[in-house]
């Protein structure tokens, strides 16, 4: 357990790259994972759960690459309760300066039925697997999956078995988002009180948001003595998601009077992390999302606007700059140079390498030629677009020309680079987007079904950039793609291709059996 001086320190365990990536459609490429991991490491996240190494070759490589990259954070990989999973996990995380193996088994009656282990058999399995993990690594996290629906006496017994076998962190997952704050606190208090050896381990809380209480449940667990919160950026995760990192970090800051705990996270990097994860996962942040939603600091009513102008504290419990959000303003024009762009992007939280900056600069100049006013949000869309388009190289848009209007049929002439070779086609359709998507399908035949097609204007005005999101489904695999352009049809084509590039990555991945939630 932490020393007395550290009693107020809560560890932040980010699982965006593992539980977050399990959101249907949120598959990320290795380079995207590395970019997120680098940011999490820089912003002071204590533990990064980088993936599930046995899930696929791609997952294994990504965890190993994150392990090699991290400077400060502990790098953790997930493993089921069997020796092969644990060995594979260790193979991936052992490259880290500070590795951790996280192994789990479903302990509730429903899960015991699935694994066909009786209570005693499961205790033996826990002992065998945790001891094996501990022989490989001295930092072991163990989780009784579905802990909140596990009989309390049995929960104490499995936790005791894991501690005896060498676990150093005990995580208590509310796997199906079933618990409520007072129960979440009571479970942690009970384990700390009843389990022998509880004083030697860190207790963690892992909450899902099915009833909208993930953040409240995590904070209640901390009040009862948990000192590690498992969370994800933007609350990404299975079903309704996980506890949102930005919510717990800011709640502990803003209400430190009632919750006297601190994290090591630099909150001014939150906005950047939120934007990056939204882009690479293809899950846009809902406008009214706490902390990072577009409207979180927007004041619409006259009374509120007046109050905020006189004294921001009237209607704001935190300042936009506390999470790294610069005030929206008119920033740049077509005469702005590279240095000004670099400075502005730095202010927005983006530190770009020279080649990335060059790419964004070319796009910025082209945008400034087409659009009178370039806002912060336009620049964010440009940077994110460049991140996404750089991610998958198999399909690349070379040229698109559409004919549309009242006299049909709408036509799309498309040149696509497919695996390094340019191919061209003309297709007609019911509208310019339909014609474009048909053309893509002719050049790259596939069976994926379009599940969602969404267009958002980045700023106001008819010359605004459009951000397009596309979600595709193929044999149960769901992938998304996003892109921005002042031309909505071009943005649509790029988003469709981004989704297909993700599908190509995803086809190589399979989820292991026995991981039902
Ligand atoms: O929700 C859950 O139970 C999990 C475990 C693997 C920790 O994600
Ligand atoms: Zn989970």
pLDDT band at 156 (very low <50, low <70, confident <90, very high): very high
Residue 20 C-alpha to ligand 2 middle, in angstroms? 8
Question: Does residue 9 register a pLDDT over 50?
Answer: yes
Measured distance CA(189)–CA(175) in Å, rounded: 19
Taking the model in full, what pTM does it have?
A: 0.82
For a pLDDT cut of 90, what percent of the chain falls above it? 64
Q: What is the pLDDT of residue 378?
A: 83
Q: What is the pLDDT of residue 27?
A: 77
Q: What is the pLDDT of residue 299?
A: 59
Output the six-digit token pair for 173: 């997952």
Residue 175 Cβ inside 6 Å of ligand 1? The answer reads yes
Give Rg (Cα) of the chain: 24
- Of the listed ligands, the closest to the CA of 231 is 2
Q: What is the pLDDT of residue 330?
A: 47
For the segment 320-332, what is each residue's pLDDT rounded down to a tens digit? 999 998 754 545 7
Question: Does residue 517 register a pLDDT over 50?
Answer: no
What mean pLDDT is reported for the chain?
Answer: 90
Measured distance CA(123)–CA(114) in Å, rounded: 16
Residue pair 73/47 in contact (Cβ under 8 Å)? The answer is yes
- Across the range 411-427, mean pLDDT stands at 94
- Across the range 228-232, mean pLDDT stands at 98
SS (H, E, C) 327-396: CCCEEECCCCCHHHHHHHHHHCCCCCCHHHHHHHHHHHHHHHHHCCCEEHHHHHHHHHHHHHHHHCCCEE
What is the number of the ligand 1 atom nearest to the C-alpha of 78? 6
Q: What is the pLDDT of residue 5?
A: 47
Q: How many CB atoms lie within 10 A of CB 295?
A: 11
Residue 173 Cβ inside 6 Å of ligand 1? The answer reads yes
- Across the range 423-442, mean pLDDT stands at 96
Residue 104 Cβ inside 6 Å of ligand 1? The answer reads yes
Least confident of 155-159, 162-166, 378-382: 378-382
Higher pLDDT, 280 or 299: 280
pLDDT band at 447 (very low <50, low <70, confident <90, very high): very high
CA-closest candidate to residue 277, choices 501, 13, 21, 11? 21
Residue 232 Cβ inside 6 Å of ligand 1? The answer reads no
Question: Does residue 106 register a pLDDT over 50?
Answer: yes
Least confident of 3-12, 149-158, 285-294, 326-335: 326-335
For the segment 351-395, what is each residue's pLDDT rounded down to a tens digit? 888 888 998 999 888 888 877 678 777 888 888 777 655 555 789
Residue 135 C-alpha to ligand 2 middle, in angstroms? 26
For the segment 53-95, what is each residue's pLDDT rounded down to a tens digit? 999 999 999 999 999 999 999 999 999 999 999 999 999 999 9
- Across the range 347-354, mean pLDDT stands at 80
Nearest CA to ligand 1 atom 1: 175
Residue 105 Cβ inside 6 Å of ligand 1? The answer reads no
For a pLDDT cut of 70, what percent of the chain falls above it? 92
């Amino acid at each position: 357990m932490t020393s007395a001086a550290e009693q107020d320190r809560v560890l932040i365990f980010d699982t965006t790259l593992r539980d977050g990536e399990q959101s249907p459609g949120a598959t990320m490429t290795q380079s995207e994972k590395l970019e997120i991991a680098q940011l999490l490491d820089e912003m002071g996240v204590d533990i990064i759960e980088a993936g599930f190494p046995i899930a696929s070759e791609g997952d294994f490589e990504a965890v190993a690459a994150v392990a090699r990259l991290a400077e400060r954070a502990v790098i953790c990989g997930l493993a089921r309760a069997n020796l092969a999973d644990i060995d594979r996990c260790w193979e991936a995380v052992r490259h880290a300066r500070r590795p951790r193996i996280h192994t789990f088994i479903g302990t509730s009656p429903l899960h015991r039925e699935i694994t066909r282990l009786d209570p005693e058999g499961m205790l033996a399995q826990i002992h065998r697997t945790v001891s094996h993990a501990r022989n490989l690594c001295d930092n072991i996290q163990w989780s009784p999956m579905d802990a909140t629906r596990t009989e309390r006496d049995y929960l104490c017994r499995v936790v005791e078995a894991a501690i005896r076998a060498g676990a150093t962190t005990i995580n208590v997952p509310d796997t199906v988002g079933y618990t409520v704050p007072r129960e979440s606190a009571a479970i942690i208090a009970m384990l700390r009180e009843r389990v022998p050896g509880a004083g030697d381990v860190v207790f963690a809380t892992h909450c899902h948001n099915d009833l909208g209480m993930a953040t409240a449940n995590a904070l209640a667990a901390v009040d009862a003595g948990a000192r590690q919160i498992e969370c994800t950026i933007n609350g990404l995760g299975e079903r309704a998601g996980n506890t949102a990192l930005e919510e717990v970090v800011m709640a502990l800051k803003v209400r430190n009077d009632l919750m006297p705990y601190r994290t090591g996270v630099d909150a001014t990097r939150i906005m950047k992390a939120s934007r990056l994860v939204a882009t690479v996962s293809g899950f846009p942040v809902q406008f009214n999302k706490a902390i990072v939603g577009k409207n979180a600091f927007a004041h619409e009513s006259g009374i509120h606007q007046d109050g905020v102008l006189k004294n921001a504290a009237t209607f704001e419990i935190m300042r936009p700059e506390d999470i790294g959000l610069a005030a929206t303003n008119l920033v740049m024009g077509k005469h702005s140079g590279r240095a000004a762009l670099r400075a502005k992007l730095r202010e927005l939280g983006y530190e770009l390498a020279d080649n990335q900056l060059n790419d964004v600069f070319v796009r910025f100049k082209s945008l400034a030629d087409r659009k009178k006013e370039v806002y912060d949000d336009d620049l964010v869309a440009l940077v994110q677009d460049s991140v996404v388009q750089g991610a998958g190289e198999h399909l690349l848009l070379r040229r698109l020309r559409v004919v549309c209007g009242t006299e049909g049929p709408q036509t799309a002439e498309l040149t696509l680079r497919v695996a390094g070779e340019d191919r061209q086609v003309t297709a007609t359709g019911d509208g310019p987007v339909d014609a474009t998507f048909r053309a893509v399908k002719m050049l790259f035949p596939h069976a994926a079904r379009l599940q969602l097609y969404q267009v958002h204007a980045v700023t106001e005005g008819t010359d605004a950039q459009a951000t397009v999101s596309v979600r595709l489904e193929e044999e149960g695999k769901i992938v998304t793609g996003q892109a921005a352009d002042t031309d909505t049809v071009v943005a649509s084509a790029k988003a469709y291709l981004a989704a297909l590039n993700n599908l190509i990555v995803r086809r190589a991945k399979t989820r292991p059996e026995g991981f039902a939630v």
